[in-house]
Amino acid sequence: MLKSLVERAIHRLGYRLVPIEPLSALPSSMSPPGAFLPSVPIINVVDVGAMFAGDGREPYSALRDAGLARVVGFEPVAEECEKLNRRFGPPHRYLPYAIGDGTTRRLHVCNESMTSSLYEPNTPLLSSFDGLEAVVRVVREVPIETRRLDDVPEAAEGDFLKIDVQGAEIDVLRGGPRLLARALVVHTEVEFAPLYREQALFADVDTSLRASGYGLFTLDEIHSRTYLPLRDGDLPPSRRFRQALWTDAVYVRHLFELERLNPGELARLFVILHVSYGATDLCARVLECLDAKTGTATAKDYRAEAITVERVSASTHS
């Protein structure tokens, strides 16, 4: 969510952020998943920190738009939760729960709703960077009951877990071991610097997910800010934004041992990776494993189509 706020601030100054090979959805010229599967499963999405940022770029948005997702989302800011239910409606459902460690915590409500957190903003560090502290100012603190993911029955069948909770990622993960044992993909925001006091950082989240059987597949663009007293406009684009602060990380269960997944899991994983990420190389590997288990022969056709599409795309942009 910080990404959307930073982009708005940059745009007001007359600049724009140029991503370096960001995560992308399926190329429009690739066939839909039904061309490679006898039946296409609906993906159960669990969205922790579901506040709508206004850009429609949730990692599962392509699945939802294609009618291939059923979303259960959690957003503790009641008015934001109501907006989500009005905007998307059935079969999607959003609940006003704070997902965490199951204890009573204090929610630090900030001047920009999407920077609110169960953790106190690290104001001295935020103040070291151009444009950050101004959007992470606490306006009030309220006690809030948190719930563990595994204690919420609506989340029990999740295939695709998305987390965006401003520093509380490790609390969400530790409260959901049963969900993690079932889910196939985790897409989570992670921080490289303690933007919130006592928060877990990328290394902690990575260790936790690897212990749960997940492997790191990819990172989205790494977001940075300029150290003050220099400001963004003082530096040429090639030398702007050096300090790595946060990114989105994508994890896949049994990534390096895909044969451990059953056919149903492989089919759901293929749909997620194909539609949400356009990850044609890994999708081909998933289909190879599925072919080996079911006696089908779709991986070869998929791989041939992917190579053709990528070559056409490369020639178009050359």
pLDDT tens track for 266-288: 999 999 999 999 999 999 999 99
Rounded distance between C-alpha atoms, residue 73 and residue 314, angstroms: 37
pLDDT at 4: 56
Cα–Cα dist 73/107, whole Å: 18
Sequence-separated (6 or more) residues with CB below 8 Å from residue 25:
61, 62, 275, 276, 277, 278
| pLDDT higher than 60, residue 42 | yes
Tally of CB atoms within 10 A around 265: 21
Q: Which residue has the tokens 């400001």?
A: 231
Cβ atoms within 10 A of the Cβ of 215, count?
A: 15
CA 70: distance to chain centroid? Answer: 16
Q: Which domains does the chain have, with CATH numbers?
A: 2-22+42-259 (3.40.50.150)
Whole-number Å distance between alpha carbons of 300 and 5: 43
What's the pLDDT score for residue 15? Answer: 44
Contact between residue 206 and residue 249 where contact means Cβ atoms under 8 Å apart: yes
pLDDT of residue 10: 44
Handedness of CA 61, 65, 69, 71 (dihedral sign): positive
- Distance (Å, whole) CA 198 – CA 195: 9
Amino acid at 231: R
Who wins on pLDDT, 277 or 57?
277
State pLDDT tens for residues 101-148: 999 999 999 999 889 999 999 999 999 999 899 999 999 999 999 999
pLDDT tens digits, residue range 73-101? 999 888 889 999 999 999 999 999 999 99
pLDDT per position as a tens digit, 164-184:
999 999 999 999 999 999 999
Number of H helices, E strands in the chain: 10, 11
Label residue 191 by pLDDT band (50, 70, 90): very high
- The C-alpha atoms of residue 67 and residue 212 are separated, in whole angstroms, by 30
**pTM metric for this prediction:** 0.89
User: What b/e readout covers 111-149, taking b as 16+ CB neighbours within 10 angstroms?
Assistant: ebebbbbbbebbeebbebbbbbbebbebeeeeeeebbbb
pLDDT value of residue 241 = 61
Q: What is the mean pLDDT of the chain?
A: 90
Q: How far apart are CA 290 and CA 55, in angstroms?
A: 35
pLDDT value at 318 more than 90: no
pLDDT band at 18 (very low <50, low <70, confident <90, very high): very low
Contacts (Cβ under 8 Å, ≥6 apart) of 224: 241, 242, 243, 244, 245
Residue 313: pLDDT over 90: no
pLDDT for residue 53: 72
Q: Would the pLDDT of 221 be above 80?
A: yes
The per-residue pLDDT for 54 is 65
CA distance 251 to 265: 15
Amino acid at 116: S
